[in-house]
């Protein structure tokens, strides 16, 4: 067993040399899950609350609280928009979930989503300097059913405390009603990251994948396997960016989406899926293998694999096929197997494989851009602009089949993305304030650097304790034993 260190670089090299590629892929999943549990137990979660204002003497409490703070209350009372300037509201996001579809684990009960929601808050702060708080809510009604109106009511009541709302891990069909209602009825951006976030980042990866294989979005045949919130929004944003609906086929857990799907038409809660039934798959294809014949792109966001997407589907695709298999925590087919089946470019949602098409590249910068100009909503145009921002940034660095999208450690990309989104918000007429592209870029980069410096200082001083290497070795042993 290789020596392990806290950097967690080169995960593949941690495992015995006689492990096959499949064993390594499985062992990495077990290792990361076990280390997640051990490290969360060690830290007691990932987030905490700290002041941003200093105490220079105890009379400063009279400034920050009573009697001085009365002036803050009355100022905001007389002009609510000042709450964005003289409280932390202007840089604060609520990460709201009822935990009914947490990653690939389904309904985890309301508190079961806390790990993911704290993770979103951590990424927002570290990657874009955005403050966020995890809010897992109970959406059950008196009948014991998950009620979208409960989430809608909660968010509408909570919105005066936040500059934006990030919806997360809400199962369909409730996710459609929650997002669409709140986007129209709230006066701050409401963003569903599983849908719009994943959609924006996927379109970014697709733009560059098509650049590499020298194909145009409007000409390619696209098959989408899975028709939940993520893939239906990916389809919608692909169409918005110029894809041909007649060359697009979606599949849910039953069969293809098309106008003969009376079961979808009859349930008004699935109106977003029915819209795609009307727009795509004019030949009403119900067989995935047939749909993949000569297809240029296969995008799967369905259920964890590794045997969900079949090699024969990929073998039936056209020249230089592009395969995105983005289920978490295990892709629908492992990248090595997809390549063996003929895939030219493969992307997953995981950072331990090349081409991580993960919404963590999108939501920090997108939300930061919206916050900077105090946007009232995040439009589809803003989401598509973010996709091109990510794609263009990677292209400048030199794209190739194993690098179609920026990586999470490319700090400047988030500042560029935030500035591009802010400019699009101004262009779309949803911004409360205006600024230049350079101002948005500079502010975002400064906030990112301040966050990184603070975390580094806390680690150096021991306020964030360093986990013992034995903790990592314990997780590694569990993983090796599980796969051996």
Measured CA to CA, the distance from residue 115 to residue 214 in angstroms comes to: 41
Buried b (16+ CB within 10 A) or exposed e, 197-221: bbbbbbbbbbbbbbbbbebebeebb
Q: Active-site residue among 26, 28, 120, 150?
A: 120
Q: CA dihedral defined by 247, 248, 253, 254, rounded to 10 degrees?
A: -40
Residue 104 reports pLDDT greater than 90: no
- 65 belongs to the catalytic site: yes
Gyration radius (Cα) of the chain, Å:
23
Angle at 208 between CA 204 and CA 214, to 5 degrees: 145
pLDDT interval class at 195 (50, 70, 90):
confident
Averaged over 318-338, what is the pLDDT?
94
Q: With 80 as the cut, is the pLDDT of residue 3 above it? A: no
Q: How far apart are CA 93 and CA 96, in angstroms?
A: 9
Q: Which residues contact 470 (CB under 8 A, 6 or more apart)?
A: none
Q: Within 13 Å, how many C-alpha atoms sit on residue 343's CB side?
A: 29
The distance in angstroms from the start CA to the end CA of the chain is 12
Mean pLDDT, all residues of the chain: 95
The percentage of the chain sitting over the pLDDT mark of 70, rounded to a whole number, equals 99
List CB contacts of 410: < 8 A, sequence separation 6 or more.
393, 397
**Among candidate residues 115, 181, 184, the one with its CA nearest the CA of residue 151:** 181
Catalytic residue list contains 120: yes
Which residues, 6+ apart, have CB-to-CB distance to 401 below 8 Å?
212, 344, 345
Tens of pLDDT along 461-475?
Answer: 999 999 989 999 999
pLDDT band at 5 (very low <50, low <70, confident <90, very high): confident
From 416, 333, 471, select the one nearest 8 (Cα to Cα).
471
Domains of the chain as residue ranges with CATH: 60-188 (3.40.50.10380), 195-435 (3.40.50.720)
| pLDDT attached to residue 262 | 97
Peptide bond into 67 cis (omega under 30): yes
Give the C-alpha distances (Å, rounded to integers) separating 206 from 124, 321, 371, 405, 477.
24, 12, 27, 9, 37
DSSP 55-103: -SSTTHHHHHSTTTTHHHHHHHHH-GGGHHHHSGGGGEEEEEE--SS-T
Q: Which among 147, 419, 433 has a CA at the least distance from the CA of 269?
A: 147
CA–CA distance, 190 with 204 (Å, rounded to integer):
21
Confidence band for 103, pLDDT divided at 50, 70 and 90: confident
Q: Give Cβ neighbours of residue 59 (< 8 Å, ≥ 6 apart).
A: none
Give me the pLDDT at residue 1, please: 44
Judge whether residue 137 has pLDDT over 70.
yes
Contact between residue 399 and residue 207 where contact means Cβ atoms under 8 Å apart: no
Mean pLDDT on 319-335: 94
The DSSP bridge partners found for residue 128 are none
| Stretch 407-413: mean pLDDT | 94
Q: Are strands 222-225 and 248-251 parallel, antiparallel or unpaired?
A: parallel
pLDDT in tens, 138-175: 999 999 999 999 999 999 999 999 999 999 999 988 99
Residues 6+ apart with CB under 8 A from 452: 126
Q: pLDDT confidence of 329, banded at 50, 70, 90? A: confident
Does the bond joining 423 to the residue before it have cis omega, within 30 degrees of 0?
A: no
238-274, pLDDT tens digit by residue?
999 999 999 999 999 999 999 999 999 999 999 999 9
Q: Give which of 103, 93, 102 is closest to 124, Cα–Cα.
A: 93
Catalytic residue among 9, 28, 46, 65: 65
Among 337, 336, 334, 343, residue whose Cα is nearest residue 316: 343
Q: Give the model's pLDDT for residue 286.
A: 98
- pLDDT at residue number 69: 96
pLDDT of 10 strictly over 90: no
Express the helix, strand and coil content of the chain in percent, nearest 5 each.
55, 10, 40
Which phi and psi angles does 465 have, rounded to 5°?
-70, 150
What contacts 77, CB < 8 A, 6 or more positions away?
none
Q: How many of the other CB atoms lie within 10 Å of CB of 112?
A: 17
């Amino acid at each position: 067993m290789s020596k392990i260190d806290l950097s967690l670089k080169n995960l593949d090299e941690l495992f015995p040399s006689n492990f096959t590629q499949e064993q390594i892929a499985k062992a990495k999943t077990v290792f990361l899950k076990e280390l997640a549990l051990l490290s969360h137990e060690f830290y007691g979660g990932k987030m905490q609350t700290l002041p941003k204002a200093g105490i220079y003497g105890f009379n400063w409490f009279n400034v920050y609280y009573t009697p001085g703070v009365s002036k803050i209350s009355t100022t905001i009372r007389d002009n609510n928009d000042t709450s964005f300037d003289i409280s932390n509201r202007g840089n604060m996001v609520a990460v709201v979930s009822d935990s009914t579809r947490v990653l690939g684990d389904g309904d985890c009960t309301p508190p079961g989503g806390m790990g993911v929601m704290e993770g979103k808050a951590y990424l927002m702060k570290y990657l874009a300097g955005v403050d966020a708080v995890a809010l897992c809510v109970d959406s059950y009604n008196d009948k014991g059913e998950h009620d979208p109106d409960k989430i809608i009511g909660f968010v509408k009541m909570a919105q005066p405390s936040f500059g934006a709302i990030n919806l997360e891990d809400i199962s369909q069909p409730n996710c459609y009603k929650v997002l669409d209602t709140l986007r129209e009825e709230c006066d701050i951006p409401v963003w569903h990251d599983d849908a719009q976030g994943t959609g924006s980042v996927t379109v970014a990866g697709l733009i560059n994948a098509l650049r590499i294989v020298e194909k145009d979005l409007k000409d390619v045949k696209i098959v989408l396997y899975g028709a939940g919130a993520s893939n239906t929004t990916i389809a919608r944003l692909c169409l918005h960016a110029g894809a041909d609906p007649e060359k697009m086929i979606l599949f849910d857990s039953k069969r293809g989406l098309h106008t003969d799907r009376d079961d979808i038409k009859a349930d008004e809660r699935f109106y977003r899926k029915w819209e795609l039934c009307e727009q795509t798959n004019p030949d009403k294809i119900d067989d995935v293998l047939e749909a993949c014949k000569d297809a240029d792109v296969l995008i799967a966001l369905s259920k964890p694999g590794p045997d969900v997407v079949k090699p024969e589907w990929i073998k039936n695709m056209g020249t230089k096929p592009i395969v995105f298999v983005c289920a978490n925590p295990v892709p629908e087919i492992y990248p090595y197997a997809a390549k063996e089946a003929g895939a030219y470019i493969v992307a997953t949602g995981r950072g331990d494989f090349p081409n991580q098409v993960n919404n963590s590249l999108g939501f920090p910068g997108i939300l930061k851009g919206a916050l900077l100009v105090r946007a009232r909503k995040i439009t589809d145009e803003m989401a598509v602009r973010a996709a091109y921002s990510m794609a263009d940034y990677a292209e400048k660095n030199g794209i190739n089949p194993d690098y179609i999208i920026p990586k999470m450690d490319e700090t400047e990309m988030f500042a560029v993305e935030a500035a591009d989104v802010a400019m699009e918000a101004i262009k779309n007429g949803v911004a409360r304030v205006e600024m230049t592209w350079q101002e948005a870029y500079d502010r975002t980069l400064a906030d990112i650097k301040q966050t990184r410096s603070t975390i580094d200082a806390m680690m150096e001083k021991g306020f964030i304790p360093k986990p013992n290497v034995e903790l990592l070795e314990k997780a590694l042993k569990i993983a090796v034993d599980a796969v051996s």
